[in-house]
Amino acid sequence: MKKAIITVVGRDCVGIIAKVCTYLADSNINILDISQTIVGGYFNMMMVVDVAGSEKSFDAISAELAEVGGTIGCVIRIQLEDIFDMMHRL
């Protein structure tokens, strides 16, 4: 398993989760956890995913997710989970 965190931030509109999830399914990336809120009209989603099953390189996934974000007016980032683990867990 290779865990990564996806964050999606942008103005709320129809189909954000659908778009992101479709991309992940097409890329064989498994979703382990999703949480999502809307604050002041801004959509804010975090996902924990497993990228180990995908044949795409991490770089490619990162670039393609950014592209998907562009089409729905959101900023989408993917980061390996280690950076959060290292910083916040002993």
Which listed residue (39, 40, 55, 59) binds another protein by CB under 8 A?
59
Task: Quote the CA–CA distance of 2 and 17 in Å, as a whole number.
Answer: 22
Query: Cβ 67 to another protein, closest distance in Å?
Result: 14
Greatest CA separation for the chain: 40
What is the distance between the terminal CA atoms of the chain, rounded to a whole angstrom? 21
Q: Does 88 help bind another protein (rule: CB under 8 A)?
A: yes
| Least spacing, CB of residue 2 vs another protein, in Å | 10
CB of 30 to another protein, least distance (A): 15
